[in-house]
Structure 1
Amino acid sequence: MFLDHGNPTMSLARFLPFAALALVAAPLQAQPVRPFSLAALKAAQAAGKPVLVDAFAPWCPTCRAQAPTIDKLATDPAYKDLQILRLDYDNQTAEKKVLGISKQSTLITYKGNREVGRVLGITDPVQIRTFAASALR
């Protein structure tokens, strides 16, 4: 349909409106869940971005219950501005200390440099979404 072997420019000209439409119609997506680092947190804070830190341990049943909801936030356009950083609870000991995290399944929200919330062990998707949204207000 788009191929015109005799005139490659014409093929491209026919395709461009469809490509532009696809770009405009694509929904805005949230940022993917990224591995936690102090540098990533500081960069997001310096930019005034809202941040959700997830202290995750793969052996923790509460963390595993939280993860699907947090992962869905990363694809929800309503949370497109939220930076989600997943801290490796077992291996990021120094980072846990800096953030004052003493238990896995801790969630922390930041609005710029200011911590706006901290919860432990919530697994209800509505509560997690509401908590994450606190950084966006």
Structure 2
Amino acid sequence: MISRRRVLAAACAISVMPIGVSAADDIRPFSQADFGAAQKAGKPILVEIHAGWCPTCKAQAPIISELRKEPRFKDLVVFRVDFDSQKEAVRQFGARQQSTLIAFKGSAETGRSVGDTSKASIGSLLARAI
């Protein structure tokens, strides 16, 4: 039997959870269809070649999240390619390792970096996509 205390604790936990995800935290899992649609629409795009176990990827995540809160990056679409499970996409992008960031303006690649954890240079990379 569920105790009242557990029900109350669950209700409290739910009440402090955010209702929605902000645009700055909206990182989409990579799919060729969604990526193609964003390219066709001429969107600024960032593709992250990411691995959950990668310390550099973990260091990049809050930097990218913070940069995306800037008004100039409001339309940036971010796709995350899982380095371990999406090998075909990793090959498609010509990535040799995780922590690779690739910027696109529509269908044109505008820049890439590997292993970068500098807010300034990641910001520069993202700016090339807008």
TM-score normalized by the length of structure 2: 0.77
Identity of aligned residues (%): 47
Out of 69, 72, 80, the residue aligned to residue 66 of structure 2 is 72
1:83 aligns with 2:77: yes
SS of alignment partner, residue 40 of structure 1: helix
Kindly name which structure, 1 or 2, has the bigger radius of gyration based on alpha carbons.
Answer: 1
Q: Is this contact kept in 1: 2:25–2:65, CA < 8 A?
A: no
1:59 aligns with 2:61: no
Q: Is this contact kept in 1: 2:24–2:65, CA < 8 A?
A: no
Instruction: Work out the number of aligned pairs and report it.
Output: 109
Task: List structure 1 segments (4+ residues) > 4 angstroms apart after TM superposition.
Answer: none
Tell me the distance in 2 between the aligned counterparts of 1:56 and 1:82: 18
Q: Which blocks of at least 5 consecutive residues in structure 1 are unaligned?
A: 1-28
Partner of 1:133: 127
Tell me the distance in 2 between the aligned counterparts of 1:71 and 1:62: 15
Note closer, same or farther for the CA distance 1:49–1:31 as it changes in structure 2 (3 Å cut): farther
Partner of 1:13: none
Partner of 1:34: 28
Out of 25, 44, 49, the residue aligned to residue 38 of structure 2 is 44
One-letter amino acid of the counterpart of residue 70, structure 1: I
Note closer, same or farther for the CA distance 1:76–1:59 as it changes in structure 2 (3 Å cut): same
Q: Is this contact kept in 2: 1:32–1:74, CA < 8 A?
A: no
Tell me the distance in 2 between the aligned counterparts of 1:89 and 1:103: 8
User: Deviation at 1:114?
Assistant: 0.7
Tell me the distance in 2 between the aligned counterparts of 1:82 and 1:55: 16
User: Deviation at 1:107?
Assistant: 0.4
One-letter amino acid of the counterpart of residue 129, structure 1: G
User: Deviation at 1:41?
Assistant: 1.1
